[in-house]
Copies of this chain bind each other. A is one copy, B any other.
């Protein structure tokens, strides 16, 4: 794991129960994060927080207390806020996995990222949400989507840890993916070739053509693969003409 965990700042706002602060500290540490900011916690420091933090007392000890969200996120270039469902406010919303991938990619810019979690009983107000660039929603049971704050933190931190290992595993990609125009050219070239060698029935081409499109779109070829395939198709066409 090369996760730059110091760049990721977990911000808890107006937390009522100090036990939740301890549980959040433990949730963070189990996923490799350590930087905790507390905006107006009702009680802190607290024995309840320590009791629930497990072996993450270092996260509590290094936590910083702020008087406002603005102050807590002052140094952050990117700000995410976790949001409950069905808000009247319209805002771009990412799910936890998408947000985690986005956050992990941003750590490479070496700039600070804050993720804000609201008060236990009401989440974040619209004014508070507006401080964020992006909203995160955790997929949940629509009939009861009410996760405890430490549970929400656990899931977000877990997705960030997964993103860090998934994206490391993708480092085999030595060429960038083709853009949509290049992809379309490859698909057209493939279909032309298939017609040339009579494997597409010109009377009823529709179904197979949509399958070919779906197949190449799913593949998401990189530039080297697309270039090889174009060469392959050109060689076939040259020999046929």
**Is residue A211 within 8 Å, beta carbon to beta carbon, of the partner chain?**
yes
User: Chain B residues near A54 (CB, 8 Å)?
Assistant: 146, 148
Listed stretches A7-15, A23-31, A39-47; interface member: A23-31
CA distance A66 to B199 in the complex (A): 63
**Is residue A73 within 8 Å, beta carbon to beta carbon, of the partner chain?**
no
With contacts A55-B146, A144-B55, A218-B219 known, is A197 near B158, CB below 8 A? no
**Min distance, Cβ A96 to any Cβ of chain B, angstroms:** 8
User: Chain B residues near A167 (CB, 8 Å)?
Assistant: none
With contacts A147-B30, A148-B26 known, is A215 near B219, CB below 8 A? yes
User: Chain B residues near A194 (CB, 8 Å)?
Assistant: 232
**Binary per-residue interface labels of chain A (182-217) against chain B in the complex, 1 for a CB within 8 Å, 0 otherwise:** 000000000000100111000000001001101100
Report which of B32, B148, B239 forms a contact with A240, defined as CB distance below 8 A: B239
- How many chain A residues touch B (CB < 8 A): the figure is 53
**Is residue A93 within 8 Å, beta carbon to beta carbon, of the partner chain?**
no
CA distance A239 to B236 in the complex (A): 10
User: Chain B residues near A158 (CB, 8 Å)?
Assistant: 138-140, 155
**Min distance, Cβ A207 to any Cβ of chain B, angstroms:** 10
Report which of B145, B148, B161, B172 forms a contact with A141, defined as CB distance below 8 A: B161
**27 contacts across the A-B interface (CB closer than 8 A):** A23-B151, A27-B148, A27-B151, A29-B144, A30-B144, A30-B146, A30-B147, A30-B151, A32-B141, A55-B144, A55-B146, A56-B144, A139-B162, A140-B161, A141-B161, A151-B151, A154-B154, A155-B158, A172-B214, A197-B232, A198-B235, A199-B235, A211-B225, A211-B228, A212-B228, A215-B225, A236-B236
Where the two chains meet, the residues of A that have a C-beta atom closer than 8 Å to any C-beta of B are 1, 23, 26-27, 29-32, 54-56, 97, 138-148, 150-151, 154-155, 158, 161-162, 165, 172, 194, 197-199, 208, 211-212, 214-215, 218-219, 221, 224-225, 228, 231-232, 235-236, 239-240
19 further A-B contacts with Cβ under 8 Å, apart from A27-B147, A147-B154, are: A23-B148, A26-B151, A27-B151, A30-B140, A30-B141, A30-B145, A32-B141, A32-B143, A54-B148, A138-B158, A139-B158, A139-B161, A139-B162, A154-B154, A199-B228, A208-B228, A211-B224, A212-B228, A215-B225
